[in-house]
Each structure stands twice: as structure tokens, then as C-alpha cells.
Structure 1
């Protein structure tokens, strides 16, 4: 029941016009609109309280980079966090990745696997300021702005001090644009080039966590899945962003799959050519399934069908149902 309701709300959020929606969907719109108005009031009040310093703003002794977005999932935040962490690791800086651990911590677990063997530290919890302070106290920190560090990198960018490599040099926040209690030095806002901002309404009537004017806080905007949209669409997105903040730099990214793996044996790499001329059923529980499906189609699959679950859906609860669906498609 809840899965169906989430699907209905998602369809409403990304519908261009209400007239094309089924009666059930349209009947929910007034209730969702009321809830969105209340949500907008709460967001405005919270923002005002932080601006007036009613709530404490915590500062950490190391640079803080926030990777976030204005809408709900599927904007490429977690892959960007991984990319940033790897960049710092390459230069001998130990990053601390902070996540709220939503959805059972599946995103953090994925990051742990992908960043295994690097000096990356992980912190999980709703109070990220407290988590960061505890881990910085545990591991210590290094000031990457010191001239001695820059001199060391100039001589050999991959040389690391065995002691300093354990010390935290930078904090990377995953999904933290609305986490205002922690001061950040760089705000990166991710945008899904395919789904964009839906109907431009706030939750739950639409997909937005904040109004588009919040882009004025961005230090950089990244349009994700840029390879799956047209040049015209990219220019349209850029014009919208620059209309809110003229000086913000805009970057384009895409996901570049390298191999497949079997569930349960993730170390066994299967070449992407296995998808060529194959009949594929895409089963997903991610923020935005559309880019995933389009990516599979681009790889030369003969036929592609899909079963979309809500973000962070726990599959084992519905294992029998999923198995039946798979059997029906085979």
C-alpha cells in the first residue's frame, strides 16, 4: 500500500499537467497542496531562525564540502561524494564522509566498498556536527592550508606522512544542502538533468525540498546525466540556474559504467557486452530510475522492461513478490 502511494505521489510530482493524471491522482492534489503549504512555512521559519543565529552554527577545524540538491533522490550526490573523496585521497588528504544514514545506510555501505583501501573515514548520524567532532577528536586533524603541506605536495604529490594520513584533512557532507547547522566552505548542488525539478512544487505536492531561489547559496552547480539530455535542455537548465545566481559555475557529469556483477558475488566482474542484444528487466530502488533504464538501453539491449520501487526500498520484505514478477517477465 505504501509503495503504491509513494509511486502515485512521485507521478504527481513529475507530471507536467494534472489533466493527464488518473482520477485517483487528481483527488490527492488538494491534500498534497495543503501539506506543501505547511512544509513551506516550516522551511521558511527554520531558515529564518538560522539566519538570525537562533540556532547554533557549528564550525569544524577543517574545510567542509557539502554535496546536496533541491529535490528528492536521484541527483548523483553519492557518486559525487565518492569522486571528491578519491580526489583528496589521491593528494594524500584523509577525508571524512558524513552521512545521515537514511534508508538503512545503504549509500554509506556502498561508499565503504568503493573507497576500501583509502584513508577515508565515515561518520553516520543525524547530528553530523557531533559525529564530526567525535571523529576529529579520535583521529586528529591536519591543516591542509599550511605551507609545509603544499611544499610536500609540490615535491611529490603522492608522498604521504604515515601519521598525517590518519588525520582528517577535509569533511565531505553527503546530502547536506538542507543541513544548515554545520558551516560549509563549499556548497555543491546536484541537478538531475533528466527529471530536473518536476512540477516546481515543494514536498509533498512536488519534489522540491526548498524553492529554486535556494540555488543562490550554491558555490557550484552540477548537472548530472548530462549525456542523456539534449543540448537544448542543457542550455535551458543553465539559463534557469544563472537566472537565480549569475556567477555560479556550472559543470556537467555523467555516469560511466565499467562492468556488471552478480548479486552476492560483487567481486566477480561481468563485461558490459553481456547486455548486448539481451532482454533486460531493470529492477531498481533508487531516487530516479529513468537514467538507469536509459543507460541500459544505450548499451545495446534488445528489449528493456522495468520494475521501479521507491528509493531505499528493502527488497527482502517483498522477495516473493519480486520473484513472481521476474518469473512473469522471463
Structure 2
């Protein structure tokens, strides 16, 4: 099965015009079947969207603002690091986030988020039915929302909302773009700069979950690993995105290594320069192994070897034996004991597996997502646009939602609920003035706030 997954992954990464010259006979034999399944998948995607549009399939609305972090392709796009970045930012400002994740592949990403956010007010809900999971958490903890006019998320100062630390103020959907059953107030789409669209085909022939036209739903697009490709390739990628949605804000991010920790003694942390000029064997089962390797190579090792497995791969005994054989070969070749380097995600998926690699040392590299400065955009700009979208959602309010005596929910203090055309107009103008934006361009229709999409240039002026 692992060989089949790797073969499909290889097909998805190679343009069709190069298939005959770059694929093996066994890989080429898979293409007719993959093409058929891809066509069926495409029809299913379109049908599912129409059912949601027609209201046949129901969308759930949570009582707190919802941010979706998703992508158009499988794996390696930086969704989970972005979720961790957002959750930490909200928690640091006194707004308790609820992360909703499916828990695919042994829930490795959920375990990683729980470990990384330990000690914060962030909560992680795991399960395929995220609406039900959210309901249980909201019933248990209650919910509160920050007020866009007075509270300042992402400013480094605690929010002055009426909530207690445990009450949930915002929900974050990990891998949420295709999870249409929950309505969202902000759609962040992550794009892997190293392989943005693969061979441009839908699953399973290609890596696309949806056609590129789905970028039209994005409020923000983030080009991840932007520092690992040439500037002209970044510009070309931005051009492709803007052809679909000409005014969407685009940001660049990277994964910044911080330190190592020992997988055999997690309390032992090591600085990045402690293993310089060492022989590394990089072992990974992630969606973008190339980005992992490129980052490790920048740390200055003497030599880097690699063993790649499919995304979410859980290491088995035969895999460990393969790794041990490769380590012995490296030790014989270089005359020094090599070190195994893994990602945090690999550690959280299979922590017990690395015990079998003793006496060789196994280190996990800790990385954090960073927003890059590019064409005037910064991390502050990114956070400012997120707050602006949440305030434009019309659902940011004063007060706390608590459980009533009848098992339902009630508002414990006054809220800004816009129920009239004039009320909408005043509320939207007030929010726009909070950001130094003129209210003149605001377009309002009865019972629905319609705001023009802002260009980055205008945001940066304020």
C-alpha cells in the first residue's frame, strides 16, 4: 500500500506532458484507473456544492466567529502551523480559541497541536462531525465573543471582553476549506510554493481537492514556503492566484526552525547549532518532504540523507529495520554515528517507534510559522486584515453566551445584534472607523452586510 501511495504521489507531481519520459511502466499503468476515479470525484464535488447551495445539505452556524484554514491540494501546505499560529495569537490576547480538526491519520496533527498549545487557553476538538464536537465544547465551556470596537486581538494586550478564560471566543477549522457543513466568517487558503497545483488534475490523478476556481471563496491566500523558491516563481504563482480573484490579499510564510528535542527524552532540548557538521538521516511521513529537507540543509550539516514515506504514515517494524540498515551504511561510509532528524508531526504520530533506533539519536526539529515581509505586507498587516474580516462578519458582539435553565443558551449581557437596515449601516460604519477606513464606500442591503473587498494598499495606509 505504501508503494501505491508513493506512486500516486509521484504521478500527481509530474505534468502530463512528462509522464512518458519520467514515469515507470507500473506508474503509467495506473493512469487510466486514476483518470476514471478523478472524473467521478469531480462530479461528486460539483454535486455536493450544488446541494449546499440549494439547501439540501445543511450548514451549521456556530455562536462564535469561525476561521477556516484550508487548501486546494493534499498535504504540505502549512495548514496546521497556521492554525497553531492563530490559536496562540488569540490565546495570548485573552480570547480562548477552539480548534476543530478531523483527526485524520492517527490524529497526529491534533496531538501536535495539543502539545504545542499546552498551557494556553486553546482547546482542541477532534472528530469527523465538527459541528457536533463544537456543540459539546460550547455546552461545556460556554462562549464569549470579543467586541471589534473595543477589544484588540493580535495587539499583545489582553482583551477586555466579559468572558472568563475558559469561555470560547473563536473557532478555528483545521483543514476546513472542504468542510462546508460549518459556516465560516473568514476563509484562509494555504498554497504550497514548492508544489502549488501539481499536475493540475483532481484527486486521485492529481493533488487538487477542488478546481482552482475555488480560490474565489478565499478571503486571504497564503503562499507557504515562499522563501524556498525563486522570486520570479513567487510572482508567477501570485499572478495565477490573482487571475482567479484579482483583489484577494496574498501573504508569504515560512517555517522557521527554533530548536531540537530528543525523541527519546523530550525534556532534553538542543540549539540548532549543536548538530552542525553532523551526518543527518531525515525521516519523514509528511505531505511536503522537500521543504523539510531544504530547511535541514540550511542548518549546515556535513551530509543529509533522506527516507520519505507518504503523508500520515505510521512507522512499522519493517520501516525501523530499513532505517537501521541505512544508519549502519551511513556510519560505515562517514566513520561517524549519524543522527536521525524527524518532524514534530512524525514524533507525535509514532513516538514509541523511535525507541527502537537506539543507540542512534533521534531528534525532532521544532518549527514555527512566520509571516514574511513582502511588498509592504507584514505579520501586523496579516493580523489586521483578520480582525477586519471578523468585525465585518456582523457577528462580533459584546457579552457572554451561557447555558440557561432549560438546557438552551442565552445572552448574559447586551449584544450588538443588527436587525435592521439602519442598524446594519451604523454598525458597519462604526467598525470601519475603528480601522481608520472611510464609511462612505460601504454598501448595505437589508438584513445582510455587503462590504467591498479591500486591496492591501488601502489596508496598509491605515
- TM-score band by shorter chain is over 0.9
What residue in structure 1 maps to residue 81 of structure 2?
79
1:164 pairs with 2:170: no
Bigger-Rg structure (1/2): 2
1:224-273: per-residue Cα shift (whole Å, max 9, x none)? 00110110010011000000001110000001101111113223111111
Residues 154 and 194 of structure 1: is their aligned pair in 2 closer, same or farther, counting only changes over 3 Å?
Answer: closer
1:320 pairs with 2:321: yes
After TM superposition, the structure 1 stretch with the greater mean CA deviation from structure 2, 295-304 or 155-164, is 155-164
Could you tell me how far apart the structure 1 residues matched to 2:199 and 2:151 are? 50
Could you tell me how far apart the structure 1 residues matched to 2:310 and 2:44 are? 25
What residue in structure 2 maps to residue 107 of structure 1?
109
1:283 pairs with 2:283: yes
Cα distance, 1:145 vs. partner? 2.5
What residue in structure 1 maps to residue 13 of structure 2?
14
Could you tell me how far apart the structure 1 residues matched to 2:156 and 2:241 are? 39
What residue in structure 2 maps to residue 259 of structure 1?
259
Which of 94, 98, 102 is equivalent to 2:100?
A: 98
What residue in structure 1 maps to residue 248 of structure 2?
248
Could you tell me how far apart the structure 2 residues matched to 1:281 and 1:308 are? 10
Could you tell me how far apart the structure 1 residues matched to 2:233 and 2:246 are? 18
Could you tell me how far apart the structure 1 residues matched to 2:76 and 2:297 are? 18
Could you tell me how far apart the structure 1 residues matched to 2:153 and 2:222 are? 28
1:42-96: per-residue Cα shift (whole Å, max 9, x none)? 1111111111111011000100000000000000000000000011011100000
Cα distance, 1:163 vs. partner? 5.8
What residue in structure 2 maps to residue 329 of structure 1?
330
Cα distance, 1:21 vs. partner? 1.3
Cα distance, 1:329 vs. partner? 3.1
Paired residues of 2:218 and 2:248 also in contact (CA < 8 A): yes
User: What 5-or-longer segments of structure 2 have no aligned partner?
Assistant: 332-462
Residues 202 and 138 of structure 1: is their aligned pair in 2 closer, same or farther, counting only changes over 3 Å?
Answer: same
Paired residues of 2:70 and 2:79 also in contact (CA < 8 A): yes
What residue in structure 2 maps to residue 47 of structure 1?
49
Cα distance, 1:159 vs. partner? 6.2
Residues 155 and 73 of structure 1: is their aligned pair in 2 closer, same or farther, counting only changes over 3 Å?
Answer: closer
SS in 1 for 2:286: coil
SS in 2 for 1:165: coil
SS in 2 for 1:281: strand
SS in 1 for 2:305: strand
Cα distance, 1:151 vs. partner? 5.7
What residue in structure 2 maps to residue 24 of structure 1?
26
Paired residues of 2:146 and 2:159 also in contact (CA < 8 A): no
Residues 163 and 180 of structure 1: is their aligned pair in 2 closer, same or farther, counting only changes over 3 Å?
Answer: closer
Residues 324 and 180 of structure 1: is their aligned pair in 2 closer, same or farther, counting only changes over 3 Å?
Answer: same
Cα distance, 1:316 vs. partner? 3.7
Residues 130 and 327 of structure 1: is their aligned pair in 2 closer, same or farther, counting only changes over 3 Å?
Answer: same
Residues 118 and 155 of structure 1: is their aligned pair in 2 closer, same or farther, counting only changes over 3 Å?
Answer: closer
Could you tell me how far apart the structure 1 residues matched to 2:178 and 2:295 are? 30
Residues 163 and 49 of structure 1: is their aligned pair in 2 closer, same or farther, counting only changes over 3 Å?
Answer: closer
SS in 2 for 1:315: coil
After TM superposition, the structure 1 stretch with the greater mean CA deviation from structure 2, 158-167 or 239-248, is 158-167
Residues 155 and 279 of structure 1: is their aligned pair in 2 closer, same or farther, counting only changes over 3 Å?
Answer: closer
Cα distance, 1:161 vs. partner? 7.6
The alignment covers a number of residue pairs equal to: 327
Could you tell me how far apart the structure 2 residues matched to 1:119 and 1:188 are? 22
Paired residues of 2:144 and 2:163 also in contact (CA < 8 A): no
TM-score (norm 2): 0.68
Cα distance, 1:274 vs. partner? 3.0
User: What 5-or-longer segments of structure 1 have no aligned partner?
Assistant: none
CA RMSD in angstroms, aligned pairs only: 1.9
SS in 2 for 1:261: strand
Could you tell me how far apart the structure 1 residues matched to 2:156 and 2:77 are? 35
